[in-house]
Amino acid sequence: MSTRMKGHVVLVGAILAGLLGTGALSRAQTTDAAALALESAIQKQLVEGDLNLAITRYGAILDRYGNQRHVAAQALWRLARAQDQLGLPDARQSYERLLREHSDNAALAKAAQLRLTTLMEDEDWIAADLSGTAPVADSWSWPAGAASSQGGNVGQFVIVSDLTLHNPATGQSRRLTDGVRATAYPVLSPTGRSVAYASWSGDLRENIARVAGGQGPGRAAELRIVGIDGTGDRLVTRSPGTGWLRPFAWSPDGRQILTVFERRTGNRQIALVSAEDGAILPLKSLLWLSARDMSFSSDGRFIAYQVSSPVRSRLDLFLLPIEPDIGAERRYSVTLGSQRGAPLTDTDLAIHVLNRLGFGPRIGDIERVKAMGVDAYIAQQLMPERIADPVVDAKLAGFVGLEMDIPQLLEKAGPPVAIAGRRRATIFERPAMAAEAATARTAANGAARTSGDPMVVRAADRPLDTEIHTARMIRAVHSQRQLNEVMVDFWMNHFNVNLGDHQLAPHFEERAIRPYALGKFEDMLRAVARSPQMLSYLDNWRSSAPADVVRQRLEASKTTASVDERLRVLERAPFFEGNKGLNENFARELLELHTMGVDGGYTQQDVIAAAKVLTGWTISSHGLVNGREEDGVFAFDPLMHVDGDKVVLGQTIKSGGVEEGEALLKMLARHPSTARYVSTKLARRFIADDPPRAVIEEAGQTFLRTDGDIREVVRTIFMSPQFRSREAVQAKIKKPFELVASALRAVDAAFEDLQAYGDLLTGNQAPVGRMGEKLYNHEAPDGNPDVGPAWMNSNALLLRLDFANRLAADKVPGIKSNLSSAQTLLTQLGLPKPTPLQIEHTRSMMQAADAAASPAMGGQQNMMMGGAPAGAGTKPQVDSLAVTVAAMLGSPQFQKR
C-alpha cells in the first residue's frame, strides 16, 4: 500500500472517529460516513490483507449503519467473503443473512446463493475426504481478497509494496516510481531487472459514491512493469471489467506474468499476461476463485496454487498445466490436522513408530518391528550406543574431519590465515575478512607470497568441505540408530548455529550435539555454551566489561603479568581497542530459545544480568595454526568479565570467574520453564504441531524429576496414549530433509559414490535446499521450523513432486532406485494405488520434464542418439512402474509422517 493511500485511509478513519464521537450527524453526513467507513474496510481487506481487522470494521458498519441499505449490503457481502477466506463457519451465516435481508439486491443475492451452494457441496466433500472416500469434485474454489504484499529480493535489497527499494545494510531507500496513485504486490523478474506490480487509479470521492450506490469501487486496476533502476514504468494491461488484479510470478523465461483477475461479474480468472504486449491467456475462471501462493514449475509448464479451506486443518493445493495436452488439473489435499478412524493395528503402530522415531521404514523394517514388538524396538532405539551400525561405520571410515578436534580442523581444513590477520573481527569486518580468506585460498596454492608475512599453506590431506553434509545424509538413510539421528536433527535446530561451509562445522555437531542427543540436557547446554561456534555466532566472544574498566585492567596487568601473558594481550590489542562493552545476544537467545522460552517468565533485567555473568566466555586462537581468534577454542578471560554479584531470575550468582556461567547454566537447565519449553518442542516433534497439553505436562514432570534426562523425557512421550492414538498418525508434515531421506529409504536407493549423498544437501540444485530447508545454514537462531505449514506451499509442492518423479526415473545423479521393492513397501505403508487419472497426470509431468530438458540437445545430436527429429512432437516414454512409484512418492500421504 502506498504512503499516499495510507494517508487517505488514516485520514478517513480519523474523520470518521471524530464524527462518531459527536453524535450529531445529519442524514447526508451519515451516508458519507458510512461510505467512508466501507471504503476504509475494503482497503484493509483487499490492499493490506488484514482480514481480521476488516471483519471487525464490517461488523461495526452493520451495527452503526444498518439502515443504509446499499452500504449494509456491500458490508455484509464483504464480511461474508472475508470470513470465508479465513475458513470461519460464520461465513455461511453471513451469506444466509444477506439472502434474508437484501434479496432486493439481485446481484449480491445471486452471488451469495451460488456461494452457499458451493459451501454445502464442499462440506460433503470434506466429510468424505476425512473418511477416506473422497469423490472427485469440481466445486473447490474459495473467495478471497488480496493477501498482504510480499516483497521481492534483489540481492541485498528488498522491494516493499509501495515500490520502495530498501537496502537493509545502509538503511537507504528510494521509490521506483511515483507516477501512480497506489501500488501493491511487487514481483521481481527472473533477470532481476524488472518489477511487475498492481496499481489502481481514480478519485477517492468517486469510489465512495460508487460504493454507496451499490456499484462497488470504481478504480481501474492495472498491471504495470517498472525497471529495477526506476526507469521505463509502463502499463501492461488494464481491463474496464476488472475490479482487482494481482501478479504472482514471472514465467521462468521472463515472457509472461502469472496474474489473477477479479472480474466485476464475480468471476476470478487465472491468466498469463504477456510482458511485451499485455496479451492475456486465460487458464482457469470460476466464481470467486481464490488462487493464492502461486508458483511456476522449473520448466514453466505447470502452475501450482493454494486455496483456503473452511477446515483449518486442511491445505488444498492444485496443479494446473499450462498446455492442455500435458494433462488435467489435479487437486492435492494435505490434511495437516488429526484424523479420525479405528484404533491402530499392530502394522499401523509399527509404521507410525518407524516414521516418528526415524526417517521412515526400509523394506523389511515393518516385519522386523512387529516381530520384536513396538515397545522393545523403542527401548532399543533409546540406547543407540548398544546398536551396531556397520554400514554407516564403513561409509564414514575415511571422513577424518569428523574425528578432529578444533586445533586439527584449523590446521588441516582452515583457510590459510596470515599472522597479521589473526585478530578479533567485528560483525562489520567479517564480510571483508571472508573475501580476504577466499583470496588467500586461491593464492596459497600458487606462487609464494611477496609480502614477507608468514602464510600457512593448505594441507594436502585436508578433509573435504562437504564431509559433514555427506555424513548427515548417510546416517539418515542407512543408520540403525534412527532415533539418535532424529534427535541430532532436532537439537541442531534447537541450538541453531549458522555454520554454512565453516571448517569447524563438524566439531559443533560431533562434540556439542551428538554425544548428548539422548543424554542430560544440562551437559548439552554446557557443551553448546562453550562451543566457539555458538560464542562467535551470537557475539558473546566480544561481550565485555566497559572499555574503561578493561583498559584499567590492561594497565595494571603490565606490572604483574608474565612475558607470555603480555604477548597474548598484545596479540589481542586490536580487539581491546575496539571493545564495545556488553553484548546481550547470546544471553537473550539462551533464555528465549535454548532454555526457558519466550514466555518463560524472565525479564529484560534478567537478560542483562545473564549477559554480565557470561562476559569473559570467549575464544582464543593462541598457538593455533590457521586460526583467527574467532575460530579458536573456548577460553575464559578475566580481563573481560564484569565483576560483582548478579541477580538472575531472583537468584543471586556470587561474583567469581567462569564458575558464574556454570552456575547460570545449571540453574537454567533445571528451571520449570525450561522443562515445559523443551517438553513442548519434543512433543511437537513426535506427536503433532499442536501437542496435547497432558503429554507436555507429563514430559515436563519427567524432565524435572530426572534432572533433564532427555532419554526419559522422550520415553514418556513414546509411552503416552496420545503418541499411539489414531489422531497422531500422519499428523506431521515431513520437512524437506525428512522427505528426501524417507524417499531414499523407501526406494532402497543405491548410491554410486559418496558424493551423491552430499549433493542432496549442498549446491544450488540440492533437493533439500531447493525445498527450503537450510541445514547448517539457517540464518536466524531459531532454527528450521517443525510445523507443517512452514514447508507446504505451491512452490514446495512442485519441488517435492519433481524430486519424486526424478528419483523414480533414476534422474537424481548417482542414485538408482529399486522400483519393485519400492512399490511393495509403499503399498505396505497403506498408500492407495494411484488412480488412472493420477498415473496419467504423473506421466505427463515426467514427460514434460524430459521434453523441457531435450531442447538443450541439438536436433542432429538427437537423431544420432536414436531420438526423434527436433520438433517431431513425440513424447518421451516413461516406465510404467516408475510412474506408479513416482505417483505414490508424490502423494499427500507420503508427505506426512
Angle at 472 between CA 468 and CA 476, to 5 degrees: 170
Cell digits of residue 327: 494433462
Question: If you write DSSP's letter for every residue of 213-276 in order, what string do you get?
Answer: TTS----EEEEEEEETTS---EEEEE-TTEEEEEEEEE-TTSSEEEEEEEETTSEEEEEEEETT
CA distance 580 to 583: 8
Report, as an integer, the average pLDDT of 878-897: 89
Evaluate if residue 186 carries a pLDDT over 80.
Answer: yes
- Count of CB atoms within 10 A of residue 830's CB? 12
> For residue 91, how many C-alpha atoms fall within 13 Å in the half-sphere facing its CB?
26
Residue of higher predicted confidence among 854 and 798: 798
CB burial of residue 517 (10 Å; 0-12, 13-18, 19+): buried
CA distance 264 to 220: 11
Q: Tell me which residue has cell 534447537.
A: 494
Residue type, 384: P
Among residues of the chain, what percentage have pLDDT more than 90? 37
Residue 896 is given by DSSP the state B
Q: Which residues of 493-513 are buried (b: 16+ CB within 10 A; e: fewer)?
A: bbbbbebeebbbbbbbbbbbb
773-790 pLDDT, tens digit per residue, is: 988 888 889 999 998 888
Say if residues 737 and 489 touch (Cβ distance below 8 Å). yes
Q: Which of 479-493, 533-547, 699-713 has the lowest mean pLDDT?
A: 533-547
* DSSP-H helix ranges across 143-220: 204-212
Report, as an integer, the average pLDDT of 518-541: 94
CA distance 734 to 356: 10
Q: Ranked by mean pLDDT, which of 327-331, 457-461, 484-488 comes out on top?
A: 484-488
Evaluate if residue 153 carries a pLDDT over 50.
Answer: no
Q: Which of 142-156, 169-183, 550-564 has the lowest mean pLDDT?
A: 142-156
Cell digits of residue 793: 506451499
Say if residues 430 and 541 touch (Cβ distance below 8 Å). no
Say if residues 594 and 528 touch (Cβ distance below 8 Å). yes
pLDDT at 201: 61
Structure confidence at residue 240 as a pLDDT band (50, 70, 90): low
Residues 6+ apart with CB under 8 A from 489: 476, 737, 738
pLDDT at 213: 52
CA distance 494 to 783: 6
Strand partners, 305: 318
Residues 6+ apart with CB under 8 A from 211: 35, 38, 39, 42, 70, 71, 74, 217
Q: Ranked by mean pLDDT, which of 316-320, 441-445, 457-461, 874-878 comes out on top?
A: 316-320
Residue of higher predicted confidence among 558 and 710: 710
Residues 6+ apart with CB under 8 A from 57: 37, 40, 41, 44
Evaluate if residue 760 carries a pLDDT over 70.
Answer: yes
CA distance 507 to 535: 14
Strand 220-227 and strand 267-274: pairing? unpaired
Evaluate if residue 399 carries a pLDDT over 50.
Answer: yes
Cell digits of residue 852: 523441457
Q: Which residues of 852-890 are buried (b: 16+ CB within 10 A; e: fewer)?
A: eeeeeeeeeebeeeeeeeeeeeeebebeeebbbbbbbbb
Q: Ranked by mean pLDDT, which of 395-404, 494-503, 601-610, 883-892 comes out on top?
A: 601-610
* DSSP-H helix ranges across 573-657: 573-577, 585-589, 604-613
* DSSP-H helix ranges across 413-562: 430-444, 467-478, 482-494, 505-507, 521-529, 532-537, 547-560
Strand partners, 183: 199
First to last CA, the chain: 40
CA distance 247 to 258: 6
Residue type, 479: S
When computed from its CA atoms, the radius of gyration of the chain, rounded to whole angstroms, is 31
Structure confidence at residue 26 as a pLDDT band (50, 70, 90): very low
Mean pLDDT computed over every residue of the chain: 79
Q: Tell me which residue has cell 505396505.
A: 828
How would you list the strands of the sheet with 152-154, edge to edge?
152-154, 157-159, 164-167, 172-175
pLDDT at 683: 96
CA distance 598 to 588: 10
Q: Which of 351-365, 494-508, 533-547 has the lowest mean pLDDT?
A: 494-508
Residue 891 is given by DSSP the state S
CA 793 to chain centre: 10
Closest C-alpha to 533, from 610, 489, 579, 586? 586
Q: Tell me which residue has cell 593462541.
A: 622
pLDDT at 146: 26
Say if residues 419 and 567 touch (Cβ distance below 8 Å). no
Evaluate if residue 639 carries a pLDDT over 70.
Answer: yes
Residue of higher predicted confidence among 81 and 622: 81
Q: What is the 3-state secondary structure (H, E, C) of 722-772?
A: CCCCHHHCCCCECCHHHHHHHHHHHCCCEECCCHHHHCCCCCCCCHHHHCC
Helix (H) or strand (E) holding 633: strand 633-636
197-226 pLDDT, tens digit per residue, is: 888 765 444 544 554 455 554 556 788 999
Residue 392 vs residues 389, 471, 483: alpha-carbon distances, Å = 6, 9, 15
Residue 674 vs residues 136, 650, 701: alpha-carbon distances, Å = 48, 16, 11
Torsion angle of alpha carbons 330, 331, 335, 336, nearest 10°?
A: 80
Cell digits of residue 275: 510482458
CA distance 466 to 502: 10
CA distance 528 to 495: 8
Say if residues 578 and 599 touch (Cβ distance below 8 Å). no
Residues 6+ apart with CB under 8 A from 310: 84, 87, 88, 89, 91, 119, 122, 123, 126
Residue-level length of the chain: 897
CA distance 753 to 764: 20
Looking at the chain, the number of H-run helices and the number of E-run strands are: 35, 22
pLDDT at 784: 92
Structure confidence at residue 737 as a pLDDT band (50, 70, 90): very high
Among residues of the chain, what percentage have pLDDT more than 70? 75
Evaluate if residue 294 carries a pLDDT over 80.
Answer: yes
Closest C-alpha to 153, from 178, 190, 179, 180? 190
Evaluate if residue 675 carries a pLDDT over 90.
Answer: yes
